[in-house]
Amino acid sequence: MSSLPLQCGFLVVVAAALLCHFVFKRHEPTSPLSHLGLLVVVPAILTTLFLPNASTFTHAFSCVYILYYSTVLVSVTLYRLSPWHPLARYPGPIPCRISKFWMVWVSRDGKQHIYYSRLHQTYGDVVRIGPNELSIRDVNAVVPLMGSNGMPKGPHWDGRMAEQSATRTVISVRDSVEHARRRKPWHRAFSVAALKGYEEILGKRVQQFVTILEQQTQPFNLAERINHFTFGGGSEMLRDGDKDNTWHLLESGLPTALVLSHVPWLGKYYANLPGIGEGLKTFRTFCQERAILRRSAGSLSRDLFHYLIDEAGLERHTSPPTFAEVASDGVLAIVAGSDTTATTLSSLFLSLLRNPQTYYRLQAEVDSFFPPGEDLLSTVHHPHMIFSNETLRLFPPVLSGSQRGVPRGGDDKFVGPYFLPEGTNAFVHTYSLHRDPRNFSPSPDTFWPERWLKPEERAGLLSFDPKGLDKFPIVHDTKAFVPFSFGPMHCVGKQLAYQELRMVVCAMMCRLNFSFAPGYDPESWERDFKDYFVSTKGSLQVVLSPRNLTA
């Protein structure tokens, strides 16, 4: 090539690379075929322009690829940092503004909730945590973002669900109309009548759990036992422990799922790589098999699956759930219901043992409602509520909230005072909101269940305030309490979770005395509490003794 054609050749490569950036920006293609076309085929064709003048094919090939990729990278970086980017008005660290791979790196150790919290302390209520993503710590954003006129789910589920994209679980359905259709059986499954029906099933399991605990004479990991309890009926884990390594499979898949939620387009590659992500796939298959088995066995009692499968045939003439949908939601029923509730229960016991006066107050309250001879599993009394809420405030099992997104090609949105252009994803950062003194004061980081009481109720308690917190002005904004998320896509299992917490807490407090095992460091709980969308936890070593109360 003479010097002019060579320059032209370079210009063509640069122009093609800029066009490639434009296509990615405009359409965000996620299919491997379009990636192949734009990132491999186009520069390969361009290589032919240089072949006549290049000394070797390798030389031409490497020149074109280096130029093409560097131009794409520089163009993407400059654009994302430029004042022309639609999110330029929102502050955030430079690496976050350039690429979501930064969050992949940050979140690898499970501490992304602490990272977001620090970002909010530095940058304020809205932080740009990705090129097109915002974290919000403002109670006024909850309703506009997640309420009935809010936004559909964001793309963070796309990467996790890549290999089963044909039939997604309800939690990952992004189209709001389809989501509402898929939620119908779940609504029936958690109606007042259905919840009443679960009491007996749950009651038997709670009895079994407490009886197993009573036999425990040595220090043990209470958090692990609680995992086995919440894993659900039909599983022998409660009696035999995690013999099949099922819980481990569930938890070991969570870090990868979190990575894929930051870079959803990677999910399609990941799902097809042989030997990768086997743990998660095995776990999903395990859950699906159980759903399928349960379906073919038919109803013995009106359990959750009775409603999910629509065994009563209520949707026969409209849109009955398909077999694939039931199998897919079967996985969700196990994952969403077990890990979250287990974490809350364990965090509650940790917090009670750290605050002995509160522990004894709850125990006295439970004893007064359930004197010896009273049915421990009766659901008439609710002594647990403020304790559960305070635990969920400090240790929400979904620490960073659930993402919403303004669809690309859709209308721009205002979320309260914040402008969200099309293609923007956002979430309300639950952990930061729950520990913000503007929402919960005094001492938002302290476990103080009495903050949930009305002033007149607090005044009626003698030892309600061991820390002297009541002397300070109290701020208590329940609109900022969103452990179950909010709006039409919020946690549909919330009432079941409360029902389960109430029954187990009452039964455990009535029948057993707990204390930390010698040498256990309670500070390790917060250290080991990790954000992998659903949180994971460390151990909670305790010793216990039966209370032997007699009528």
Taking CB under 6 A as the rule, does residue 25 contact ligand HEM?
no
CA distances from 507 to 217, 223, 237, 313 (A): 18, 16, 20, 36
Taking CB under 6 A as the rule, does residue 198 contact ligand HEM?
no
| x-marked contacts with ligand HEM along 346-385 as a string, rule CB under 6 A | ----------------------------------------
Sign of the alpha-carbon dihedral angle for 500, 505, 510, 511: positive
SS3 at position 129 = strand
Which residue among 99, 117, 344, 351 contacts ligand HEM (CB under 6 A)? 344
Q: Which residues are annotated as a binding site for heme?
A: 491
Query: What burial letters (b/e) apply to 167-198, b meaning 16+ CB within 10 Å?
Result: ebbbbbbbebeebebbbbbbebbbeeebbebb
- Segment interacting with ligand HEM (CB under 6 A) among 42-50, 136-144, 360-368, 492-500: 492-500
Taking CB under 6 A as the rule, does residue 490 contact ligand HEM?
yes
- Segment interacting with ligand HEM (CB under 6 A) among 268-276, 328-336, 410-418, 473-481: 328-336
Taking CB under 6 A as the rule, does residue 541 contact ligand HEM?
no
Taking CB under 6 A as the rule, does residue 183 contact ligand HEM?
yes
Which residue among 68, 351, 483, 536 contacts ligand HEM (CB under 6 A)? 483
Q: Which residues are annotated as a binding site?
A: 491
Taking CB under 6 A as the rule, does residue 491 contact ligand HEM?
yes
Taking CB under 6 A as the rule, does residue 391 contact ligand HEM?
no
Taking CB under 6 A as the rule, does residue 188 contact ligand HEM?
no
Are 358 and 401 in contact by the 8 Å Cβ rule? The answer is no
Q: How far is Cα of residue 505 from the mean position of the Cα atoms in its chain?
A: 24
Which residue among 13, 42, 161, 170 contacts ligand HEM (CB under 6 A)? 170
Q: Say which amino acid occupies 67.
A: L
DSSP 231-278: T-TT-SHHHH-STT-HHHHHHHHHHHHHHHHHSTTHHHHHHHSTTSSH
Taking CB under 6 A as the rule, does residue 497 contact ligand HEM?
yes
Taking CB under 6 A as the rule, does residue 397 contact ligand HEM?
yes
Instruction: Give φ, ψ of 440 to 5 degrees.
Output: -135, 110
Q: Which two tokens stand for residue 29?
A: 């293609």
Taking CB under 6 A as the rule, does residue 489 contact ligand HEM?
yes
Taking CB under 6 A as the rule, does residue 171 contact ligand HEM?
yes
Q: How far is Cα of residue 519 from the mean position of the Cα atoms in its chain?
A: 32
Nearest distance from C-beta of residue 497 to ligand HEM, angstroms: 4
For residue 219, count other CB atoms closer than 10 A to its CB: 16
Q: Dihedral, CA atoms, 105, 328, 489, 351, nearest 10 degrees? A: -60
Taking CB under 6 A as the rule, does residue 405 contact ligand HEM?
no
Nearest distance from C-beta of residue 214 to ligand HEM, angstroms: 25
Taking CB under 6 A as the rule, does residue 337 contact ligand HEM?
yes
Binding site for ligand HEM (CB under 6 A): 170-171, 183, 186, 332-333, 336-337, 340-341, 344, 397-398, 402, 483-485, 489-493, 496-497
